Structure 1
């Protein structure tokens, strides 16, 4: 009998490519999954195609509708053992600079929505099930770079929030992880000029989510780990020369 048979994971932003692969892996490990997204039709088709009906519930969740988050959480059929925040939104930096509504949407999905719903979840001390919260962040948030600093700022803020949340929840033995991710072959990156040698597949990243350990920062792929440490150590004069 799988030891996770009676455990539940809540995936927020469940329609992303990485989230869908994570659903597969959690399912294989015996978890029940609550997959939440604005696009419930796509998720329902995914669940049907993979015959997950008995173990995967599809829920409507809008990361940007902050006022609905409390009710969304209160109405969950069961309180989760693991929560994954995988919702994300990206526009190119030039558009974000010229169109504040695009920049605001990134802020609302990538950071504000995360803080809103995770605050609700984290402060529910009656949920004795809660073991772990995982947030999907990005290497774009490690240092400000002229090519993507608006998007990067939302991920930097999210990582900082997760770091503090980890400290807040330590006394309850709840682990908080930040997946600091590089380029992935997903819908969000379509049309962008990316180094093909650095692109990861959604299934590869999903395995790091499902097998997250105790470390706060998790950087999938050794190439991206090297880049992560270089970015952390580079002096500002050299960061300014990066694209």
Structure 2
């Protein structure tokens, strides 16, 4: 019997392209999936088309519906062994600077919603199942750059939160990972002028989620690892010259 047969993965923001691929890959490893999203129709259609209905439970979850988060968690059919926060929202920097509604939505989905639900999950000490929490962050949050610092600031905050949560949960042997991701060929990035040599496919990124180890920061793709290190080490005067 597969050692993961009786284990459950809760994916929050499960209608994203990467999350859907992660669902498939977790199932291949024997996990049962609770797929939660505000976009129930998209999720249910995906589950039916992929013939995964016996291995996936689809639930409604609104990342910005803070008052509903405790009830959502309390009513889960099974308390999870692994939690993946994959919800995300993006508007371009120019729009974010001119229209606070877009900025606010990024803050709400990318950071505040994550902290709200993950605090509830992490602080439930009665859940002896919990082994791992994975948050999908971004290289945009590594350094503030002119082209995307508003979005990047929400991801930077999320990564910092995950780093502290990792320390908080270490004594309970719960691993926390931050997947720091570059460009992905997904609907959230459609219409953006991206370097095609750096764009990753959702199923490729999903492998790094499903096979997460003990390292806190996980950067898929060696090209992005190099970019990540350069961004971390560049002096401010050179960062200011980047787009």
TM, length-normalised to structure 1: 1.00
1:135 positional shift: 0.1
- 2:186 counterpart residue number: 186
Unaligned runs of 5+ in 2: none
1:95 positional shift: 0.3
Aligned length: 243
Residue 106 of structure 2: SS of its match in structure 1? helix
Superposition pairs of residues 1-243 of structure 1, within 5 angstroms = 1-243=1-243
CA distance in 2, matches of 1:91, 1:183: 15
CA distance in 2, matches of 1:66, 1:224: 33
Taking only aligned residues, the RMSD between alpha carbons, in angstroms, comes to: 0.3
CA distance in 1, matches of 2:226, 2:50: 36
Residue 136 of structure 2: SS of its match in structure 1? strand
CA distance in 1, matches of 2:55, 2:204: 22
CA distance in 2, matches of 1:29, 1:181: 23
CA distance in 2, matches of 1:53, 1:233: 46
TM, length-normalised to structure 2: 1.00
1:53 positional shift: 1.1
Residue 180 of structure 1: SS of its match in structure 2? strand
Residue 128 of structure 1: SS of its match in structure 2? coil
CA distance in 1, matches of 2:124, 2:86: 21
CA distance in 2, matches of 1:19, 1:221: 18
Unaligned runs of 5+ in 1: none
